[in-house]
Amino acid sequence: MVRAEDVAAIAEYEHDPYGFACDMFAWGEGELVDHTGPRAWQAEVQRTIGAHLSNPETRFQPLRIAVASGHGIGKSGQVGMILNWAMSTCDDCRVVVTANTETQLRTKTWPEVSKWARLARNRDWWAVPAMSMYSAEPGREKSWRADATPWSENNTEAFAGLHNKGKRIVLVFDEASSIADKVWEVSEGALTDENTEIIWLAFGNPTRNTGRFRECFRKFRHLWKTFQIDSRTVEGTNKAYLDEMVQAHGEDSDIVKVRIRGQFPSASAKQFISTTDVEAARGRHLRPEQYNFAPVILTLDPAWEGDDELVIGMRQGLHFKVLRTIAKNDNDIEIANILANLEDEYRADAVFIDGGYGTGILSAGKTMGRKRWLVVWFSGESSDPGCLNKRAEMWKLARDWLKEGGAIPDDQVLVDDLIGPETVARLDGKIQLESKKDMKARGLPSPNRADALVLSFAFPVVKASSRGNRPTRATTD
């Protein structure tokens, strides 16, 4: 039973999770006999939380912490300690914990939370059934609680309702690499209460080189305090085994980066186009004479759904740029006029239109006498026997083009689109890309800007050396 003096002592740790962890657990005894306190990285994260909350200027601003790490560093133990501190030092605190899968949540994350609740000196404060932890005080079980909440792409209400105005909210993502972007986005939009302590923690092995967990360390790094933990630097890990892994696979191998060093892989296991190739293309600058001899190819990728965008692109040799992005527009004649004007402006040698939703635009263009416009069916037959369909063939050619020196604009949406699609394993070995429906199930948008690039590889194109008369000499691309 917690003594009265314990209540006063715990209150002193309101903004000091590290002090709480040191004082509230019996280090060196029982289950903690081999531990003298939190591990060094755990202490650093706990102190980071304490510093944020102790500063009146930052206290009521959301604190976002992302930890990418190798295996065995004590991530679940950290979740258990922080959750106990958060609940113990703020009346009516609300905590939501989710993980990559419900199995992970039930068998790994939540048992660790239960363990640390049991080990704490104030264990009698809480009831800890299978997937929740709440105040044992009568009448407080609904307002003062933590819940393990599986996520679903189609059911994000639990993350949209994270409100606890004037008190404390803690949101924990475990194995965050595999939590869908949609859940991240909904959670981000919900953490808006003013005068509220808001802490968002994301932990995980950096298994994917795409998605919101990756972007905590890249695109959104200005919003997140980030830690990348090498398992070899952490107390209690099997250093001999880790060294064997490094010797077997190499320091710079993706398996060592992900499983030991806490670094994101050069390419996720199923990622079709590597981030390294795309980033190199984004930083590549070409002189006009390196591409202006090549055919000019315009492409149009129509919007599929209401939240997609229509994209018109232009590729000339190794040079690609996005000419227009337009919100979903069902006026085929209007779009056809825009495309026709761009065809004239860029003196295009070919215009390729995705046939999925582009047949009406093509028909409008034919009415205008646009003879170079062709429809491309992504599901059509591939001319490459190693590819399942036309879509896979075009994406393969675009991947090769990037490796061979292709240049793209500094456009984060285009970059994300290119590195988003993953491959689907097939017994016959043919290249197959996941469907747009499957991408959306992973929380990724339709890769419209990337499709505008890959469309330019639909068919070989001949560039006439003069416009007045079609010559016999031509350049192909």
**167, two tokens:** 């008190």
> What's the pLDDT at 160?
76
Could you tell me if residue 267 is inside a domain? Answer: no
Residue 387 has a CB neighbour count (10 Å cut-off) of: 20
Let me know whether 193 and 286 are in one domain. Answer: no
Could you tell me if residue 345 is inside a domain? Answer: yes
Please say which residue of 216, 232, 261 terminates a domain: 261
DSSP state of 88: H
Let me know whether 227 and 290 are in one domain. Answer: no
Let me know whether 128 and 209 are in one domain. Answer: yes
In this prediction, residue 209 has a pLDDT band, given cuts at 50, 70 and 90, of confident
Could you tell me if residue 313 is inside a domain? Answer: yes
**Tens digits of residue pLDDT in 218-239:** 888 899 999 999 999 999 999 9
Could you tell me if residue 269 is inside a domain? Answer: no
Helix (H, G, I), strand (E, B) or coil at 463: strand
> What's the pLDDT at 56?
96
- What strand order describes the sheet that includes 225-229? 126-127, 132-135, 145-148, 94-99, 168-174, 197-204, 63-69, 225-229
Let me know whether 244 and 297 are in one domain. Answer: no
Could you tell me if residue 236 is inside a domain? Answer: yes
Could you tell me if residue 352 is inside a domain? Answer: yes
Could you tell me if residue 156 is inside a domain? Answer: yes
Arithmetic mean of pLDDT, 336-344: 97
**Tens digits of residue pLDDT in 304-334:** 666 789 999 999 999 999 999 998 778 999 9
Let me know whether 192 and 311 are in one domain. Answer: no
Please say which residue of 232, 261, 290 terminates a domain: 261
DSSP annotation string for 161-198: T---TTSEEEEEEESGGGS-HHHHHHHHHH---TT-EE
- Continuous segment of H or E residues that includes residue 303: none
- Give CA–CA dist 28/200, Å, rounded: 30
> 83 is in which domain, residue-wise?
4-261
Pairing of strands 126-127, 132-135: antiparallel
Let me know whether 301 and 435 are in one domain. Answer: yes
> Which of 65-69, 254-258, 406-410 is least confident?
254-258
In this prediction, residue 63 has a pLDDT band, given cuts at 50, 70 and 90, of very high
Let me know whether 203 and 227 are in one domain. Answer: yes
> What's the pLDDT at 329?
78
- The Cα-based distances of 264 to 57, 141, 177, 184 in angstroms read 33, 40, 10, 19
Q: What is the mean pLDDT of the chain?
A: 91
Let me know whether 159 and 257 are in one domain. Answer: yes
pTM of the model: 0.68
In this prediction, residue 164 has a pLDDT band, given cuts at 50, 70 and 90, of confident
Let me know whether 284 and 198 are in one domain. Answer: no
Check residue 90 and give left, alpha or beta (phi > 0: left; psi -120 to 50: alpha).
Answer: beta
In this prediction, residue 473 has a pLDDT band, given cuts at 50, 70 and 90, of very low
Provide the number of structural domains found in the chain: 2
Please say which residue of 234, 261, 288 terminates a domain: 261
Does residue 210 contact residue 416 with C-beta atoms inside 8 Å?
Answer: yes
**23, two tokens:** 């004082």
> What's the pLDDT at 471?
33
Let me know whether 257 and 281 are in one domain. Answer: no
pLDDT at 350 over 60: yes
Let me know whether 168 and 246 are in one domain. Answer: yes
pLDDT at 176 over 90: yes
Let me know whether 358 and 235 are in one domain. Answer: no
Angle CA(316)–CA(322)–CA(327) in degrees, nearest 5? 145
CATH code for the domain of 131: 3.40.50.300
CATH code for the domain of 342: 3.30.420.240
Could you tell me if residue 384 is inside a domain? Answer: yes
- For the CA atoms of 105, 108, 109, 115, the dihedral, rounded to the nearest 10 degrees, stands at 130
